[in-house]
Amino acid sequence: MTESPTAATFRTWMCVVCGFIYDEALGLPEEGIAPGTRWEDVAEDWTCPDCGVTKDDFEMMPL
């Protein structure tokens, strides 16, 4: 039996430079990232909309 995705399975990621939060459940529709988009599925060349750093400068938040 497989578990269906729920909001609890989505993670949040924080920019260590400016504190911007990327929430997988919400996505960033204004950036062309649909709700439910996993962090690993965000383009590698995506940058923080607030400060411009890359995904390398984001850390997963604890649940």
List, as residue ranges, the binding site for Fe cation. Answer: 15, 18, 48, 51
| Closest to 21 in 3D by CA, of 31, 9, 30, 12 | 12
Rg, Å, the chain Cα set = 12
DSSP single-letter state for residue 49: T
Contacts of 32 (CB under 8 A, 6+ apart): none
Binding site, annotated residues: 15, 18, 48, 51
